[in-house]
């Protein structure tokens, strides 16, 4: 085979057609967003249908596909020295319940496109290249984010992950069993030489500044908490205020306290969201007897996160007192801020500038599998712009074929550099 590194390029239309085809798996009509969304919650039949489609493409590309006991998939293109640790590229195929077509999918399908480009150009890399699909990045169903990659990195033990349950009581373990994924390779497995991930930005910065790609230097710290307030359901018209034990009031007070904490500016770039609130019995004429709420807190600084958690706990105590209810608090996800490897960031920025693609450094407010992979070795990320202020976790999430191709082109060059191509050495 001839080595045509100079002429190698991403096939924009081929990449785009895989994004479109995968986007039809789990598609649903979202009345709120007024467009078609994607719903492939982790380890559901829809998620597995998405995987089957993509695994078929991996196999057609000649990759050897295996999975670990957490269901994470590794599709391998052999290296000239196949005993070397692989360069991995990937992301996830699961979505939130109101997802778009790009979050996660771009990283996996971009990995496939990179392999196809290497094949087209007849390039053999020194190290193997593996395209990875991590199980349950979104955390919507089993309530902890980046679960599959956290198990792959050793941060969360497999046995703990298997016990996590969705609101219906269905566990990760039973779903892995049902889909025949529990019998894979031991996890954590062999470490990669480096890990790269391309992702839609999910924010407004690149589009506003008209920059083609972001080189991600780090990821915000994350804490998720589940708070349950327990009071007494009672008649809304007859129960005097001083006799109420209103769990819904407590949840509302915490939502307002979060808003005040963030608005105060005392916690730096903190963002806080009460994304899920469920009241019982949820009826117009009944004082809520219980309320379950989740809180998602993110910021770039560990000290700000620690202080904000204390402030939240104090706000929960005050709210419980005011509403005369009991409170219990459980942490469901927690990870420190991540800094990506400076050399990988430099390689990605150099790759962009060599290609005449404009780039800027940025920090991610969203969680990513790359954040977990950074614990195992050098890792880095490329962001591509999203349209409409980068709206994401919404069916309107959109990036263009050109923007996606730019991001994957930058990744392709960096993969060649990290995996070693004789012509580059």
Neighbours of 350 (CB within 10 A): 16
Place of tokens 């993509």: 54
Which does residue 104 touch among Mn ion, ligand GLV, none (CB within 5 to 8 A, set by kind)? Mn ion
Nearest CB to ligand GLV, comparing residues 262 and 366? 366
Which does residue 320 touch among ligand GLV, Mn ion, none (CB within 5 to 8 A, set by kind)? none
User: Is 118 near ligand GLV (CB under 6 A)?
Assistant: no
Q: What's phi and psi for 150, nearest 5 deg? A: -70, -35
Burial of 263 (0-12, 13-18, 19+ CB in 10 A): exposed
Tokens of 337: 């801020």
User: Is 47 near ligand GLV (CB under 6 A)?
Assistant: no
User: Is 68 near Mn ion (CB under 5 A)?
Assistant: no
Q: Strands, DSSP E only, in 251-289?
A: 271-280, 286-287
Question: Shortest approach of ligand GLV to residue 353 CB, angstroms?
Answer: 29
User: Is 184 near Mn ion (CB under 5 A)?
Assistant: no
Which does residue 197 touch among Mn ion, ligand GLV, none (CB within 5 to 8 A, set by kind)? none
> Which distant-in-sequence residues (6+ apart) come within 8 Å of 64 by Cβ?
75, 76, 78
Q: Site residues for ligand GLV, window 354-383 (CB under 6 A)?
A: 366-367
Question: Shortest approach of ligand GLV to residue 275 CB, angstroms?
Answer: 9
User: Is 70 near ligand GLV (CB under 6 A)?
Assistant: no
Which does residue 250 touch among ligand GLV, Mn ion, none (CB within 5 to 8 A, set by kind)? none
> Which distant-in-sequence residues (6+ apart) come within 8 Å of 254 by Cβ?
227, 274, 293, 295, 312, 315, 316, 319
User: Is 397 near ligand GLV (CB under 6 A)?
Assistant: no
Q: What's phi and psi for 36, nearest 5 deg? A: -80, 130
Q: What's phi and psi for 411, nearest 5 deg? A: -65, -40
CB 251 within 8 A of CB 340: no
Which does residue 50 touch among Mn ion, ligand GLV, none (CB within 5 to 8 A, set by kind)? none
Nearest CB to ligand GLV, comparing residues 127 and 368? 368
Tokens of 288: 């809520």
CB 200 within 8 A of CB 216: no
Which does residue 145 touch among Mn ion, ligand GLV, none (CB within 5 to 8 A, set by kind)? ligand GLV
Nearest CB to ligand GLV, comparing residues 202 and 246? 202
Which does residue 367 touch among Mn ion, ligand GLV, none (CB within 5 to 8 A, set by kind)? ligand GLV
Nearest CB to Mn ion, comparing residues 26 and 248? 26
Count the residues of the shown chain that bind ligand GLV, applying the rule CB under 6 A. Answer: 4
User: Is 138 near ligand GLV (CB under 6 A)?
Assistant: yes
Angle at 122 between CA 21 and CA 17, to 5 degrees: 10
Nearest CB to Mn ion, comparing residues 95 and 300? 95
Q: Is 169 left (phi over 0), alpha (psi -120 to 50) or beta?
A: left
User: Is 145 near ligand GLV (CB under 6 A)?
Assistant: yes
State the number of CA atoms in the 13 A half-sphere of 317 facing the CB.
6
Q: Site residues for Mn ion, window 82-121 (CB under 5 A)?
A: 103-104
Which residues contact ligand GLV (rule: CB under 6 A)? Answer: 138, 145, 366-367
Which residues contact Mn ion (rule: CB under 5 A)? Answer: 103-104
């Amino acid at each position: 085979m001839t080595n045509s590194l100079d002429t190698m390029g991403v096939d924009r239309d081929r990449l785009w057609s895989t994004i479109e085809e995968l986007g039809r798996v789990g598609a649903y009509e979202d009345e709120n967003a007024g467009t078609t969304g994607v719903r492939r919650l982790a380890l559901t039949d829809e998620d597995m249908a998405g995987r089957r489609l993509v695994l078929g493409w991996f196999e057609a590309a000649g990759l050897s596909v295996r999975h670990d006991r957490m269901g994470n998939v590794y599709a391998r293109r052999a290296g000239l020295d196949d005993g070397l640790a692989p360069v991995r590229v990937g992301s996830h195929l699961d979505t939130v319940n109101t997802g778009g077509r790009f979050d996660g999918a771009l990283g996996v399908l971009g990995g496939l496109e990179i392999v196809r480009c290497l094949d087209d150009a007849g390039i053999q890399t020194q190290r193997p290249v593996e395209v990875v699909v991590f199980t349950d990045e979104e955390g919507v169903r089993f309530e902890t984010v980046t679960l599959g990659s956290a198990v792959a990195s050793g941060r969360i033990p497999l046995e703990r992950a298997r016990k996590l349950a969705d609101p219906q009581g269905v566990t990760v373990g039973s779903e892995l069993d049902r889909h025949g994924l529990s019998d894979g390779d031991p996890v954590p497995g062999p470490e990669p030489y480096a890990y790269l991930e391309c992702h839609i930005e999910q924010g407004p910065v690149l589009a506003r500044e008209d920059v083609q790609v972001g080189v991600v230097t780090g990821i915000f710290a994350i804490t998720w908490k589940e708070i349950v307030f327990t009071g007494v359901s009672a008649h809304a018209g007859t129960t005097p205020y001083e006799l109420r034990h209103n769990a819904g009031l407590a949840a509302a007070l915490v939502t307002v306290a979060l808003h005040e904490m963030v608005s105060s500016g005392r916690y730096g770039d903190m963002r806080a969201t009460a994304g899920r609130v469920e009241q019982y019995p949820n009826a117009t004429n009944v004082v809520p007897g219980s309320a379950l709420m989740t809180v998602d807190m993110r910021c770039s600084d560990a000290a700000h996160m620690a202080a904000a958690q204390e402030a939240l706990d104090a706000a929960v105590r005050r709210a419980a007192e005011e509403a005369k209810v009991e409170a219990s608090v459980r942490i469901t996800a927690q990870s420190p801020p991540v800094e990506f490897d400076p050399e990988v960031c430099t390689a990605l920025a150099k790759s962009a500038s060599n290609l005449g693609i404009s780039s800027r450094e940025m920090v991610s407010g969203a969680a990513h599998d790359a954040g977990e992979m950074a614990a195992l070795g050098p890792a880095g990320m490329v962001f591509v712009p999203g349209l409409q202020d980068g709206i994401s976790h919404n069916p309107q999430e959109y990036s263009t074929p050109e923007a996606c191709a730019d991001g994957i082109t930058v990744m392709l060059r960096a993969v060649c550099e990290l995996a070693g191509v004789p012509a580059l050495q």
